[in-house]
Amino acid sequence: MSNKTFYMTDIEKIEVGEAPMPVVGADDVMIKVQSVGVCGSDLHYYRSGSIGDFKVEFPFILGHEAAGVVCEVGENVKTLKPGDRVCMEPGVPCMKCEECLSGHYNLCKDVRFWATPPYDGVLSEYITHPAAFTFKIPDNMSFTEGALVEPLAIGLHACNQGGVKLGQTVVIMGAGCIGLVSLLAAKAYGATQVVVGDVIDKRLEKAAELGAIPVNTKNEDIVAKVMELTNGHGADVCIDCAGFSSTVDNCLSAAKPAGTVIIVGLGEDRVNGFNTSIMSTKELTVKSIFRYRNLYPTAINAIADGRINVGAIVSHRFKFDDTINAFATCHRDIRNVVKGVIEY
């Protein structure tokens, strides 16, 4: 049986090849992949070959947002069977360290995360994965919605950390994929005003479609807009999905006294000019998140129930055989591509 695979072989270069068929361990399942999201981190590796200390060694397989069909199960697996439609949580922690045992498995130092060097991703026809991190999806969910459970879990985690609840005003900086899923999560949790700032009109149009108040921060002062909407009080929760000095500063300025700021995006390794004065005088709570934990069932149920239309963020769909073009397009046409998905 062949296992067609797309390998990154150099900066901005992907080639088609074939990988060995994966071996199914006793606690694993084999999955025939059906959909893979093109994530911002994939594109970062594609154009630069590294993110921080994580450096690609070629050849390398991208992709970590995925869904598919179980085609074989290991001898110890009782919860899944061949034919089950599933999505996969891409990070497999050690489940032995202090972080894992205290419930913060997303912070495990020995996590094996798809498409994070040295671990290959899933842009293959067949992959294996531990059954414990493989989740059934119902028939009324598409495989693309299943693949998008992964970014949605980030948005849910950001809103959970911020304590978003009914009737609140939320500010989101950045209208890329993670900004949009944070918007969807905030609306699902009951936020009545969600202000989204970005400089790309296509993304802001999508944010408006999803119920946000869009602000092009190139032309408009988002802090002034928030103060206008809240009678000068400020936002309950500000979520920075961009991670630049200017966006963090906007979040600190737009937050109400005793409000909360959540740092999600990592546009810059270091944020300069962090306004500790305004953080202190407003007694703000500033938190960060790293991926997510224990949120796949919540995300799946919210999509299946129709409470979150995660498929609405998809702007571009590509066939598996067109993977090379998919990455080239998502990289070069950033002003028009909101979210790209590869569908097998």
Q: Which domains does the chain have, with CATH numbers?
A: 4-148+314-343 (3.90.180.10), 155-288 (3.40.50.720)
What pLDDT sits at residue 271?
87
Question: How far is residue 274 from each of residues 22, 271, 281, measured CA to CA in Å?
Answer: 47, 6, 14
What pLDDT sits at residue 272?
86
Decide the pairing of beta strands 85-88 and 134-136: antiparallel
Q: How far is 188 from 212, CA to CA, in rounded Å?
A: 12
Q: What is the dihedral of CA 111, 269, 239, 247, to 10 degrees?
A: -170
Per-residue pLDDT tens for 1-23? 899 999 999 999 999 999 999 99
Cis peptide before 138 (omega within 30 of 0): no
What pLDDT sits at residue 122?
98
- pLDDT over 90 at 273, yes or no: no
DSSP 133: G
Q: What is the mean pLDDT of the chain?
A: 97
DSSP 21: P
What pLDDT sits at residue 294?
97
- pLDDT over 90 at 269, yes or no: no
Q: What is the dihedral of CA 329, 330, 335, 339, to 10 degrees?
A: 130
Q: How far is 338 from 181, CA to CA, in rounded Å?
A: 12
> Is residue 281 packed enough to be buried (19+ CB in 10 Å), middle (13-18) or exposed (0-12)?
exposed
Per-residue pLDDT tens for 276-296? 999 999 999 999 999 999 999
Q: How far is 341 from 39, CA to CA, in rounded Å?
A: 9
What pLDDT sits at residue 268?
85
Buried b (16+ CB within 10 A) or exposed e, 98-132: ebbeeeebbbbeebebbbbbebbbbbbbbbbbbbe
Q: How far is 212 from 200, CA to CA, in rounded Å?
A: 15
Contact 208, 214 (CB under 8 A): yes
Q: Angle at CA 72, nearest 5°, toward 69 and 76?
A: 120
- pLDDT over 90 at 200, yes or no: yes
Rounded mean pLDDT, 178-202: 98
Rounded mean pLDDT, 174-186: 98
Q: Angle at CA 51, nearest 5°, toward 326 and 180?
A: 55
Which residues are bridge partners to 169 per DSSP? 193
What pLDDT sits at residue 217?
98
Q: Give 180's pLDDT tier (boundaries 50, 70, 90).
A: very high
What pLDDT sits at residue 224?
98
Per-residue pLDDT tens for 33-83? 999 999 999 999 999 999 988 999 999 999 999 999 999 999 999 999 999
Q: Point out the least confidently predicted range of 49-58, 191-200, 202-211.
A: 49-58
Contact 188, 164 (CB under 8 A): no
3-state secondary structure of 43: helix
Report, in angstroms and rounded to the nearest whole number, the Rg of the chain calculated over CA atoms. 20
pTM, two decimal places: 0.96
Contact 263, 288 (CB under 8 A): yes
